[in-house]
Amino acid sequence: MLPNWLLSRRSNTLKQEQASIQSLHSNAPDESAQRDRARIIHCAAFRRLQSKTQIHNPNENDFYRTRLTHSLEVAQIGSGICERLRYHKDTDEAFKLFIASPSQMEAICLAHDIGHPPFGHGGEVALNFYMYQHGGFEGNGQTLRIVSKLGEYSNGYGLNVTRRTMLGLLKYPVLHKNIQAYPQIEHDEKKLNHYRPPKCLHDDESDSLTWVLQPLSQADQDIFTQLTKNKSKYKSFDTSIMELADDIAYGVHDLEDALSFNLVTERQWQEEVIPKLIGTKFFSIFKPDDFNQKLFSPSNQERKLIISKIVSYFIQNISIQSQHTFQTPLLDLQAIMSEEAENNLAVLKDFVFRYVIKTQEVKMLEYKGQQIILKLFEVLLNDPEKLLPSSTYQKIKKDEKHSHRIICDYIAGMTDNYAIKFYQKLL
């Protein structure tokens, strides 16, 4: 049976937590997860993902993926992985007790990108340019900040979701100050890439991290927050499933976008991808020629069939293993993909990266977004009273010490389109 601390919400006292848990039915874990999922779906940060960049600017095509549609796909794949593991004959019965319900995994997957700023990773770097001496800025760190502090469902505790949901969102359970290693250079916008943030949580979220990990043994806490080669080493069982779902969505569904936009040719696919997949179980369902014909077919129906088969292939190659490292099963267990499937997914991700993510068009959009965010931060920092909404400015008046963080929260919450319009009004 799962421990009750996983159902805790931060705003509750211990007595309130116990009463809340006891008042739920025997299906308490899933009822709590459904509540978390509902709060995430209805929060403003989640809705704003519909106008935040995944690959292309949303205004440039009427068929595109945004952060919102990506998150929906990750949630569908994540819950599919859980169901596959739960009912597969090779899954250890003891492990099945700790597999998240579909509602629980959907809550984690739907929330995994809500902290990403406008203009994707380019915007992330631009914000960290101003924040690296003020606790840092990183998209996953901002996700925890929204869930634990900024969300609109409680006063001071954000969306006030359960510990299990917050634990599942801790992709990198280390603080910025413990992992940052910036070069000693002059603060210069021309050297923006030097301010690319490490994968971490903001220093301001140290209290949230402490709360999430508090019920764990000290030994588990110490191991879980360890670093290796200047990055976090461990993640929870739920996080491992969410990250696999994220990788599959990135490699497969972004490939579908590339095909729809005609960003890749069949010849490039035949020469650079097929030779690396031949001889693997990737083609266990259909022959390569038939596969290629349907993938590059003008028929959306045929292409969708192939895309769904590819997703299914990767899900079917995921299993659970124990690390034999932690006392807590939700830390010790990990979802892993078979080596062959992992290599095949890497082939797809690399293909998408080279022909979609690193195209000149995308790089120009990223650069443009960075410049917009840099300028917005500069002018808002110089004259917050005149340019910020009254409610945001009042926060700065009450807490001038954290003015950088308050302005950062304001910009990070913008959609791509809102940031562009705000920029055009100011300059």
| CATH number, domain with residue 105 | 1.10.3210.10
DSSP 124-138: HHHHHHHHTTTT---
Distance (Å, whole) CA 376 – CA 196: 18
Q: Would you say residue 18 has pLDDT above 70?
A: no
Asked if 152 and 43 count as a contact pair (C-beta separation under 8 A), the reply is: yes
Other C-beta atoms closer than 10 Å to the C-beta of 199 total 16
21 pLDDT exceeds 50?
A: no
| Residue 54 pLDDT | 58
Q: Is residue 1 part of a domain?
A: no
Count of domains for the chain: 1
Q: Confirm whether 14 is domain-assigned.
A: no
Work out the burial of residue 408: count CB atoms within 10 Å of its CB; fewer than 13 is exposed, 13-18 middle, 19 or more buried: buried
Poorest-confidence range of 23-32, 129-138, 246-255? 23-32
- Look at residue 329 in the predicted model and tell me its pLDDT: 96
SS3 5: helix
Residues 149-160, mean pLDDT to the nearest whole number: 94
Lowest mean pLDDT among 25-39, 342-356, 403-417: 25-39
Q: What is the pLDDT of residue 13?
A: 52
CB 167 within 8 A of CB 236: yes
In a domain, 112, yes or no: yes
Q: Which domain holds residue 397?
A: 25-427
pLDDT reported for residue 347 = 96
- Write the DSSP string, 350-400: HHHIIIIITSHHHHHHHHHHHHHHHHHHHHHHH-HHHHS-HHHHHHHHH-G
How many CB atoms neighbour CB 302 within 10 A?
14
Residue 17 lies in a domain: no
Q: Which of 76-85, 157-166, 279-288 has the lowest mean pLDDT?
A: 279-288
- Integer-rounded Cα radius of gyration of the chain: 22
Q: Is the pLDDT of residue 81 over 90?
A: yes
Question: Which distant-in-sequence residues (6+ apart) come within 8 Å of 396 by Cβ?
Answer: 384, 388, 403, 406, 407
Nearest to 138 by CA among 102, 109, 175: 175
CA distance 298 to 304: 11
Name the amino acid, one letter, at 219: A
pLDDT at residue 92 above 90? yes
Place 192 in a pLDDT band, splitting at 50, 70 and 90. Answer: confident
* 9 domain-assigned: no
Spatial neighbors of 352 by CB under 8 A, at least 6 apart, are 250, 251, 254, 255, 258
Which carries the bigger pLDDT value, residue 13 or residue 7? 7
User: Is residue 226 predicted with pLDDT exceeding 90?
Assistant: yes
CA separation for the pair 358, 346 (Å, rounded):
16
| Tally: H helices and E strands in the chain | 24, 4
> Pairing state of beta strands 231-232 and 227-228?
antiparallel
Read off the tokens for 224: 């879980």
pLDDT recorded at residue 23: 44
CB 261 within 8 A of CB 196: no
Per-residue confidence (pLDDT) for residue 65, from 0 to 100 = 67
| Mean pLDDT rounded to a whole number for the chain | 90
* 118 or 65, higher pLDDT: 118
Identify whether 18 is part of a domain.
no
**What local confidence, expressed as pLDDT, does residue 16 receive?**
52
Among 126-140, 151-165, 239-253, 347-361, the range scoring the smallest mean pLDDT is: 347-361
So what's the pLDDT on residue 336? 98
The 10s digit of each residue's pLDDT in 297-332 is 888 898 998 999 999 999 999 999 999 999 999 999
Strands (E), 96-242: 227-228, 231-232
In the structure, what pLDDT confidence band is assigned to residue 279 with cuts at 50, 70 and 90?
confident
117 vs 121: CA distance, rounded Å: 8
pLDDT score for 27 = 57
- Do 256 and 64 contact (CB within 8 A), yes or no? no
Reported as a pLDDT band with limits 50, 70 and 90, residue 355 is: confident
Domain membership flag for residue 172: yes
Inside any domain, residue 20: no
pLDDT above 90: percentage of residues in the chain: 70
Sign of the dihedral through C-alpha 18, 22, 24, 27: positive
